[in-house]
Structure 1
Amino acid sequence: MKNRQPWVPPLSKIPASLAPVVKMQKKHYGDVLNPTRLWGRMPRLFWLVALFVGWLERKQARLSPELRALLMTRVSQQCDCAFCIDANSLRLAQRCNALEKVQAVAEWRSSALFTGGERAALDYAEAMTATPPRISDEQKAALKQYYDDEAICEMTALVAFQNLSARFNAALEIPSQGLCDAQGKPHA
């Protein structure tokens, strides 16, 4: 996807109800994140989505932080979402401390950097992201080798969330924010 400006104008003034999010983003990233300026047109929906992702990213999640970032990065790539690829690559780089893994996500099938459990999860995420989703019996069996039913349900919710986010951002052409360069290196 070309790095164009969103075709729906981003908000220049974000609703006051999102002030805590704006403050956190400015502190953590140095600026308001690009999607906030469009999601901000729907503050109630923004908070519902934020609560959903907050639950998925909780400390007691059934999936490791690295696996969550890995799946979110791959779904972002499949949806061709410039912002999501940028933000999730940064998250993955921070969580796995291995830039080689961030750089290899798109070629996970041929890379030796991924575990059997990660491969099963990535295969499932790709099948789920297809339109329509096509999950084979083999993919289900592979997941069951590594994850229990609760983890699989949580993984499904995570992949569905990332599809929602990436498709929203990609459809509106929300650009990358330069959080992580093309080689997977976080910007200081």
Structure 2
Amino acid sequence: MQRMPMIERENISGDLAVFYDSVAALLGRVPRFYRTISSAPWLAMCFLPINATAQRQWPGTRISGRVKELVVIKTSHVNGCEYCYAHNTALGAAAGITEDEVIALSSDEYLKSATLSDAEKAAVRWAEAMTRNTAGKDDALFAELKEHFPDGEIVEISMVCAMFNMINRLTDSLGVPIEEQAEIDLIKPSLNLDPAKVKDYVSWMAGFWPHADFDSLNRQAAEAAERPAEAAE
């Protein structure tokens, strides 16, 4: 059940509108998740570059989009987060994850998969352990993970998993409704992140941040959230 209002693009202007344009540039569209959390605009603005760089495939990350999405899909399935599961099976398809692999990830069948590598299976097992909060005591699993990934890659895998545990809980707790499939599929071209777009966004935010009227943007977000649903597309 939807618990929070969504802020629609046509109801905003100024810096908040620029932010929405940046979300679309980095993530392929402005998902309902961002339309919901933008009621806290400054936190949403700070979260965007972490979300984009941790999850997407780009030269600054050492983990492929395929591995990241395997981790995200498993995390979201364990948490029962239908919103994130729907979005990331779509992004996972763009990363080369097949429907059969998605089905296998919904149980322990992925451990028998002939198409998942041993490294991918270890990453998924680690994601499941982190999500169930058993990873900290599972030294054997950590040792297995280290057989396949160097330290930096383990950090990246763990950050993606931890980030989606947070996103899963936000979307479920705030009741963010799932979009239609056509809108969800707009996520697919965003698999490969353009670092120049991240630089543009961070530079834009850094440019006005020291001189920002923080309360002004909070007021704009609150007013936009109060617009009637008929004003939205």
TM interval, short-chain normalised: 0.7 to 0.9
Give 2:104's aligned residue: 104
Higher RCO (CA 8 Å, separation ≥ 6 residues): 2
Give, in angstroms, the shift of residue 155 of structure 1.
Answer: 1.2
Give 1:10's aligned residue: 6
Give, in angstroms, the shift of residue 8 of structure 1.
Answer: 2.2
Give, in angstroms, the shift of residue 14 of structure 1.
Answer: 4.9
Give, in angstroms, the shift of residue 167 of structure 1.
Answer: 0.9
Distance 1:163 1:17, change over 3 A: farther
Give 1:65's aligned residue: 65
Give 2:128's aligned residue: 126
Give, in angstroms, the shift of residue 133 of structure 1.
Answer: 5.1
Give 2:51's aligned residue: 53
**Counterparts of 2:101 and 2:22 in 1: how far apart (Å)?**
28
- 5 Å-filtered alignment, 1:12-27, equals 12=8, 13-14=11-12, 16-20=14-18, 22-23=20-21
Counterpart amino acid of residue 55 in structure 1? T
**Counterparts of 2:155 and 2:80 in 1: how far apart (Å)?**
25
TM-score, normalised with respect to structure 2? 0.67
Distance 1:68 1:14, change over 3 A: farther
SS, match of residue 61 in structure 1: coil
Give, in angstroms, the shift of residue 179 of structure 1.
Answer: 3.1
Counterpart amino acid of residue 153 in structure 1? V
Query: 1:76·1:85 contact (CA, 8 Å) conserved in 2?
Result: yes
Query: 1:35·1:174 contact (CA, 8 Å) conserved in 2?
Result: yes
**Counterparts of 1:30 and 1:140 in 2: how far apart (Å)?**
34
- 5 Å-filtered alignment, 1:1-188, equals 4=1, 6-12=2-8, 13-14=11-12, 16-20=14-18, 22-23=20-21, 32-56=30-54, 57=56, 58-96=58-96, 98-107=98-107, 108-131=110-133, 134-179=136-181
* Higher helix fraction (1 or 2): 2
Distance 1:70 1:20, change over 3 A: farther
Q: Larger Rg: 1 or 2?
A: 2
1:157-187 superposed Cα distances (whole Å, 9 cap, x missing partner) = 111111111110011121221338xxxxx58
Distance 1:170 1:151, change over 3 A: same
- Give the RMSD, CA atoms, in angstroms: 2.9
Give, in angstroms, the shift of residue 129 of structure 1.
Answer: 0.8
Distance 1:85 1:18, change over 3 A: farther
Distance 1:121 1:46, change over 3 A: same
Query: 1:71·1:121 contact (CA, 8 Å) conserved in 2?
Result: yes
Query: 1:34·1:175 contact (CA, 8 Å) conserved in 2?
Result: yes
The number of equivalent residue pairs is: 180
SS, match of residue 31 in structure 2: coil
TM-score, normalised with respect to structure 1? 0.81
Return 30-39 or 17-26, whichever deviates more: 17-26
Structure 1: any 5+ residue segments left out of the alignment? 181-185
Distance 1:47 1:82, change over 3 A: same
